[in-house]
A and B are shown apart, each in its own frame.
Chain A
């Protein structure tokens, strides 16, 4: 046996690791360039979709702080769904209001956050794990900012109608909870992520609205009308 054999083994492992690092850093663009993919498969994030960035919202996004002073009559929409692209991150965000209650979801396929919050005076504030979203509702758009961990991105989400918008599916499998989240835009772009438990998950396969099979587990996506009560309770 060559005395260097074990060293070669370690070296091959190190080279593999380096190769995977380079490949991952290249295939998964830096977060500024990431586009929520028109998912073609679980690993569809390797293919950044240029359309996503081309569709990016205009730069007219304004700070939520600039919202007009509250009026006497609260004109906050009672029932509305917003969905749009998160600037720089390229992920999608969806916000749905139902009588002052708000649910939201942010996802770029790789990172995600489920959000809950309130809407009043044409302002929504949502919170989720490591995430804070504030947005002003104006002219059929929710425009604001998402803070995710140490990052902060602006977004502008337009009003959308079914089948576009936010979807969520939950399932219980042998003691583990599976939660899928999807956002679909009117231009066909979609993004999603499926988690099992808190720590394991993957980017969701292409989303067509029907029952999604994930490793044989059937997931039935519901729109906010269907899941808001159980989600907020």
Chain B
């Protein structure tokens, strides 16, 4: 009997994810199609203060990656996996996430507008694919957050995916830059 009572509830909970996942999938696909079809301009407006757009992207991505580590830590704290005093993990998680996302926007913009998605070299191919997926998962997570009654695993899985994708993006860009060219501003 208990099965008949629990099953519809679970189905309902998972169903809440349908629209966020669809929206995220659409965003990821749209970015991929744009990156493929848009003729690269070789130029895009970015953040001033670096010696060039490559350095700008490398450092903004690094900022986002550091904030992503803060994200994981505060997420553990929110879920009680790390004992902390006070209620700061929630706001810190939200604001570090917002800042990390906003730090990636000029980077992704430059990548897609100026360069476009490419598949002729493994680093660039993985970077292109991870980048499109990252924003898809991000949209999914943002649209899932306000929903009540989601399956308990939803946010940890989405957050974990985002962290993994972002670190993958950092490894295929900033880490490559630092190890190939050096620590340069």
> What is the interface of chain A, defined by CB distance below 8 A to chain B?
1, 3-7, 9-10, 12-13, 16-17, 20-21, 23-24, 27-28, 42-43, 45-46, 109-112, 149, 173-176, 193, 196-203, 215-217
User: Does B156 interact with chain A (Cβ within 8 Å)?
Assistant: no
Chain A residue contacts of B40, Cβ below 8 A: 111
> What is the interface of chain B, defined by CB distance below 8 A to chain A?
39-46, 48, 51-55, 90, 94, 97-98, 101-102, 105-106, 109, 113-115, 118, 120-121, 124, 139, 141-143, 145-146, 179-182, 184
Docked-complex contact B101 and A13, CB < 8 angstroms? yes
Known: A9-B101, A16-B102, A42-B51. 10 other contacts (CB 8 A): A7-B143, A9-B142, A20-B106, A24-B41, A24-B44, A43-B48, A111-B42, A176-B181, A198-B120, A215-B52
User: A7 with B120: in contact, given A215-B55, A215-B184 (CB under 8 Å)?
Assistant: no
Docked-complex contact A6 and B120, CB < 8 angstroms? no
Docked-complex contact A43 and B142, CB < 8 angstroms? no
Which one of A6, A175, A217 lies within 8 Å of B145 (CB-CB)?
A6
Give the shortest distance, in Å, between B7 (CB) and chain A (any CB): 28
Q: When chains A and B are docked, how far (Å) is the Cα of A1 from the Cα of B181? A: 43
Docked-complex contact B113 and A24, CB < 8 angstroms? yes
Most buried by B among A10, A46, A149: A10
Most buried by B among A10, A28, A215: A215
Q: When chains A and B are docked, how far (Å) is the Cα of A27 from the Cα of B106? A: 15
Give the shortest distance, in Å, between A191 (CB) and chain B (any CB): 12
Docked-complex contact A196 and B180, CB < 8 angstroms? yes
Which one of A23, A110, A217 lies within 8 Å of B181 (CB-CB)?
A217
Which one of A45, A111, A175, A198 lies within 8 Å of B121 (CB-CB)?
A198
User: A110 with B41: in contact, given A43-B52, A174-B180, A216-B181 (CB under 8 Å)?
Assistant: yes
The closest CB in chain A to the CB of B23 belongs to A10
Docked-complex contact B146 and A7, CB < 8 angstroms? yes
Number of A-B contacts (CB under 8 A): 114
Q: When chains A and B are docked, how far (Å) is the Cα of A83 from the Cα of B118? A: 32
Chain B residue contacts of A201, Cβ below 8 A: 42, 54
Give the shortest distance, in Å, between B56 (CB) and chain A (any CB): 9
Which one of B51, B54, B90, B94 lies within 8 Å of A200 (CB-CB)?
B54
The closest CB in chain A to the CB of B128 belongs to A199
Q: When chains A and B are docked, how far (Å) is the Cα of A112 from the Cα of B40? A: 12
Q: When chains A and B are docked, how far (Å) is the Cα of A215 from the Cα of B139? A: 35
Chain A residue contacts of B43, Cβ below 8 A: 24, 28, 45, 109-110, 203
Give the shortest distance, in Å, between B60 (CB) and chain A (any CB): 12
Q: When chains A and B are docked, how far (Å) is the Cα of A211 from the Cα of B120? A: 31
Chain B residue contacts of A20, Cβ below 8 A: 44-46, 105-106, 109, 113
Give the shortest distance, in Å, between B20 (CB) and chain A (any CB): 10
Docked-complex contact B45 and A24, CB < 8 angstroms? yes
Which one of B39, B102, B115 lies within 8 Å of A13 (CB-CB)?
B102
The closest CB in chain A to the CB of B143 belongs to A6
Chain B residue contacts of A13, Cβ below 8 A: 101-102, 105
Give the shortest distance, in Å, between A177 (CB) and chain B (any CB): 10
Give the shortest distance, in Å, between A15 (CB) and chain B (any CB): 10
Which one of B52, B105, B109, B121 lies within 8 Å of A202 (CB-CB)?
B52
Docked-complex contact A4 and B42, CB < 8 angstroms? no
Which one of A149, A199, A215, A217 lies within 8 Å of B120 (CB-CB)?
A199
Q: When chains A and B are docked, how far (Å) is the Cα of A201 from the Cα of B146? A: 41
The closest CB in chain A to the CB of B98 belongs to A9
Q: When chains A and B are docked, how far (Å) is the Cα of A216 from the Cα of B180? A: 11
Docked-complex contact A46 and B45, CB < 8 angstroms? yes
Docked-complex contact A199 and B180, CB < 8 angstroms? no
Docked-complex contact B41 and A215, CB < 8 angstroms? no
Q: When chains A and B are docked, how far (Å) is the Cα of A197 from the Cα of B94? A: 38
